[in-house]
Amino acid sequence: MELLRILVGNTRGNNSKNAASFCHHIRRTCISRFHGTPSFESIVQGATPVEAYHRLVQSGSIRFDERQLQALRPLERLHKDLEDYNPSQLQSHGLASRLLRAIGALKQSTQPPCGVYIHGGVGTGKSLVADIFYHCSPIQRKRRVHFHNFMLDVHRRLHEAKLSGDIGGSDDIMNAVSEQILDAGWLLCFDEFQVIDIADAMILRRLLESLFNSGAVIVASSNRSPEELYKNGLQRDLFLPCIGYIKKHCEVYSFHPESPDYRLIGARPDGSSALSVVWYKPLNPETKTLFEQSFTRLAGGRKIEPSVLKSGARCIQVPRAAGGIAWFDFKDLCDTPKGAADYIAIAASFHTIFVANIPQMTSSHNEMARRFITLIDVLYEQKVKLIASASVDPKDLYLPSLEDADVVEPSASSANKNQKEGAFYAEKDEEFAFARTVSRLSHMQSLDYLSAPWTSPGKDFICYLERTRLQEGDVQRIWDRYNVDADSRLSRSELKLMMEDLTEIKCGHRNVPQEVLDDMFNKVDANRDGVIVWTEFCNYIMQYGLEILHA
């Protein structure tokens, strides 16, 4: 498995469409407001969600937003419905109670009330209204959790249940895990409900069915409507029943498409601009002071502290973080061994990045320039807001023809001047790529970019990176590692071990659903003879990369 960690790390693609997919960092989407993070201290005990919202407005914790108030209406209804709901009878009677409920023989008080599924744009206030509901609910057995966190826990429990061998078939295992979840809380409030992993998609149908049949009530916030969940995903037809369960057991509420994103740099609720400058130059004490003040201002009342992101087996140190805002020094990002996977993990965790002390670079800084190009590509694709302090304007950041004495001293890792004959062509390639970077940096300062919603990382970008970096020798070493009996074929159990290792590296769990294993085996087995030989394995990995082999 260690060999695979090294190989996956070398591809610089060990992340997924969701910086949470392959990354184990768990982010909580924070709403960056003029007054900072809302405080619930002003809410009196026994208040309903709507009453609590007005209390927060009166206390100055938040600004009034009619759209958020409307989004609280279905949560207000659920809050009242839960007063007469007791799931104990439903859970204790098991199958019998489910049959009685199906024919309407159970009392109304034991039938689960309809939950709430809220979807809308990033930063509109979905998490805020869900937090208010959760805070107001007197239910003792309740749980508020990021959905990615929840699914990691489910995969861990499923894997442990399979290993124990004490439970029967897959349905029995799922029901047992469902009971464990409900023991911790039957009112489940999910933040950022999304499905991007095929492993999640394959088990979610049975999981939701078991939870709803056992009396669970779900409140979820999401960037996607139920119909758009796992859109264009592999074997999506097997996931479609989940959408039906959600629509049957939850009231679906859509935020108005024009709801403002309160996390954006230029989108305060009162219409004023939070920051008027996003590119600070030159590098001098005055600029440093202004740059520091901008970070503090945008952080609002949130606590500023160091943080650590996990990208597969790697840890990324974040010097300063405040909610969805992070601070890095240029050398931390571009003068240390970092690649696209690290930058994707950062882009998936923070909607706004401060990068301090960007120097002017020459041919002696080619490594730093390459990393900076990749960094900007990732941030730009994910619509992450960049606020930077630099020695010069973007168009003058990379000038290979300048003498090194005219700019900053290169560090030990990048001061290695290339005197080889091919250096000229490499330099031309970098100059060409940097021209695109300059264009993107210019656009990243525009109002339309700063007003665009933050997006989650794209899987295609990672697959491309892995396909361009893996060589046949790498694939041979993978084959040798997992072809345990050293014969001429890769068995289903050997492929499963490889997929479990990859899934653990990428997603933090080792649960590979049988449907996913069968589907992958059939894809690698090109001639469909029930056997995976070396040529089939090599051709598949060289074409699609390792990314496709995790659950």
**d(C-alpha 537, C-alpha 322), whole Å:** 45
Residue 107 has pLDDT above 70, yes or no: no
Residue 421 has pLDDT above 70, yes or no: no
- pLDDT band for position 91 (cuts 50, 70, 90): low
Is the model's pTM score more than 0.85?
Answer: no
What average pLDDT does range 510-530 have in this prediction?
A: 89
What does the buried/exposed string (b/e) look like for 245-255 if buried means 16 or more CB atoms within 10 Å of the residue's CB?
bbeebbbbbeb
What average pLDDT does range 340-362 have in this prediction?
A: 88
- pLDDT band for position 425 (cuts 50, 70, 90): very low
Residue 322: closest CA among 295, 346, 355, 357:
295
Sign of CA dihedral 97, 103, 107, 111: positive
pLDDT for the residue numbered 358: 96
pLDDT for the residue numbered 285: 95
- pLDDT band for position 56 (cuts 50, 70, 90): confident
| Distances 342 to 308, 339, 345, 367, 497 between C-alpha atoms, Å | 12, 6, 5, 16, 26
Strands 279-280, 305-311: pairing is unpaired
Angle, in degrees to the nearest 10, between helices 198-213 and 170-184: 70
Q: What domains can you pick out in the chain, each with its CATH number?
A: 17-28+263-457 (no CATH), 40-254 (3.40.50), 460-549 (1.10.238.10)
pLDDT for the residue numbered 443: 87
**d(C-alpha 362, C-alpha 144), whole Å:** 50
pLDDT for the residue numbered 43: 75
Residue 32 has pLDDT above 50, yes or no: no
Residue 372 has pLDDT above 60, yes or no: yes
237 vs 433, which has greater pLDDT? 237
Contact 148, 20 (CB under 8 A): yes
What average pLDDT does range 485-512 have in this prediction?
A: 81
pLDDT for the residue numbered 474: 63
What average pLDDT does range 236-262 have in this prediction?
A: 84
Judged by average pLDDT, the poorest of 109-123, 280-294, 370-384, 536-550 is: 536-550
**d(C-alpha 341, C-alpha 335), whole Å:** 16
174 vs 313, which has greater pLDDT? 174
Cβ neighbours for 37, distance < 8 A, ≥ 6 positions apart:
30, 31, 300, 301, 302, 323
Judged by average pLDDT, the poorest of 11-15, 141-145, 262-266, 307-311 is: 11-15
pLDDT for the residue numbered 484: 78
What average pLDDT does range 405-426 have in this prediction?
A: 41
482 vs 353, which has greater pLDDT? 353
User: CA neighbours within 13 Å on the CB side: how many for 67?
Assistant: 20
pLDDT for the residue numbered 93: 42
20 vs 246, which has greater pLDDT? 246
- pLDDT band for position 403 (cuts 50, 70, 90): low
Contact 222, 250 (CB under 8 A): no
Each residue's pLDDT tens digit, 62-89:
778 888 999 999 999 999 999 988 776 5
119 vs 486, which has greater pLDDT? 119
Q: Concatenated DSSP letters for 488-521?
A: SEE-HHHHHHHHHHHHHHHHS-----HHHHHHHH
State the average pLDDT for the chain.
Answer: 76
pLDDT for the residue numbered 226: 93
Judged by average pLDDT, the poorest of 233-247, 301-315, 441-455 is: 301-315
Residue 529 has pLDDT above 80, yes or no: yes
Residue 279 has pLDDT above 50, yes or no: yes
Q: According to DSSP H, which parts of 60-169 are helical? A: 66-81, 88-92, 94-102, 126-136, 147-164
Residue 139 has pLDDT above 80, yes or no: yes
pLDDT for the residue numbered 6: 40
- pLDDT band for position 346 (cuts 50, 70, 90): confident
481 vs 147, which has greater pLDDT? 147
Q: Please give the structure tokens belonging to residue 108.
A: 């109304």
129 vs 504, which has greater pLDDT? 129
Contact 256, 269 (CB under 8 A): no
3 state SS of 113:
coil
Whether the bond between 282 and the residue before it is cis, its omega within 30 degrees of 0, is yes
pLDDT for the residue numbered 29: 33
Residue 37 has pLDDT above 60, yes or no: no
**d(C-alpha 121, C-alpha 123), whole Å:** 6
What average pLDDT does range 300-320 have in this prediction?
A: 78
201 vs 196, which has greater pLDDT? 201
pLDDT for the residue numbered 436: 82
Q: According to DSSP H, which parts of 280-365 are helical? A: 285-299, 330-334, 340-349
Residue 325 has pLDDT above 60, yes or no: yes
Each residue's pLDDT tens digit, 491-501:
999 999 888 87
